[in-house]
Structure 1
């Protein structure tokens, strides 16, 4: 399944607030579709599927990528759901978004793909690059790159920078100081339901 490129507000109406996908807020409160406003109890499968879709759309992953992250998280001797969120949060595109250098994760991925971002003084063009504690994130010295980031920094996607990241807005640099803690994850979801969804596969 390819990356989603359709209307983002419709997805936010269906799944709830997805800060990584879109900054826009819909005036409509009901879920999209003809029967969106009808109260019906979802099945257990539907609840798990919805939590999984929140992860997919917020972080901009396709099904195969998310499954790979779940399998990697299962191999670690820690709670699988927590490790999964940490792996996703430490992606380069998400780190740039959380630093406020981009308004959304798709915008951050575009910055990376176009070669505007360097990690430890090396240009990285892969959005899924896993950041590690101690990594320095800098902006290419080209004027167009710096102007673009400065413009984004004046309107950050989220109000607070998580405690594992550090931003120097004057130098346009960021630093990863550690692994993110669960309470700093901006997405509201139950990661255990995502693990349960994939355990039945």
Structure 2
């Protein structure tokens, strides 16, 4: 299963925001990586560089590699609606992302691992495909044997975020993907229009 396994803090510093979640190392050095770091005088970025950076940020945020991201963009192009918004909605509808949003894991990387290790069910059936696309009304839960996992308990204890498009019952460890979120409901700081412009060249 292909996934990004390289350095996280270095990438977060490149974009100037903690895209992988809480990161003490990023907080200590929240300036660009490299030998000269903060002192580097960078020229004005080209339009292409800005567009490329936005696409890379979206890929790293959702833990998707290039080919998969391109396929999602093509799917978004064929769908009804604004392409950029549909692309982010497809990212948000991924099973690993919803597991993360429900608070079952502290990061998307952790959520991906829970899914691939068969700890998660969709509508009562075990699903081990992190990129599985959820539909409105799908019920996501933790399988019975995994409900006592320490990593899940700790994550839920530290989670205080609530999203309008997801409901979650802490007692049953089950939640419902109520609807595909509107763009205004997606908290990620991504300018999807730049991604559309880049792929449309």
* TM-score, normalising length: structure 1: 0.92
1:2-56 CA-partner distances (Å, limit 9, x unpaired): 532121111111113344x232141112100134432421111110011001111
Distance of 2:56 and 2:18 partners within structure 1: 11
Distance of 1:169 and 1:39 partners within structure 2: 50
Give the conservation status (yes or no) of the 8 Å contact 1:166–1:174.
Answer: yes
Residue 5 of structure 1 is matched in structure 2 by 5
Distance of 2:33 and 2:14 partners within structure 1: 6
Q: Secondary structure at the match of 1:115?
A: coil
1:137 aligns with 2:136: no
| Structure 1 outlier segments of 4+, above 6 Å | none
Residue 22 of structure 2 is matched in structure 1 by 23
Residue 193 of structure 1 is matched in structure 2 by 194
Residue 175 of structure 1 is matched in structure 2 by 176
Cα RMSD of the aligned pairs, angstroms, is: 1.6
Label 1:51 to 1:141 Cα distance change in 2 as closer, same or farther (>3 A). Answer: same
Which residues in structure 2 correspond to 1:67-146 (within 5 Å)?
67-143=70-146, 146=149
Distance of 2:35 and 2:16 partners within structure 1: 18
Structure 2 unaligned segments of length 5 or more: list them: none
More displaced 10-residue stretch of structure 1: 81-90 or 181-190: 181-190
Match of 1:151 among 151, 154, 158: 154
Structure 1 unaligned segments of length 5 or more: list them: none
Q: Secondary structure at the match of 2:141?
A: strand
Give the conservation status (yes or no) of the 8 Å contact 1:100–1:161.
Answer: no
Alignment size in residue pairs:
196
* TM-score, normalising length: structure 2: 0.92
More displaced 10-residue stretch of structure 1: 50-59 or 180-189: 180-189
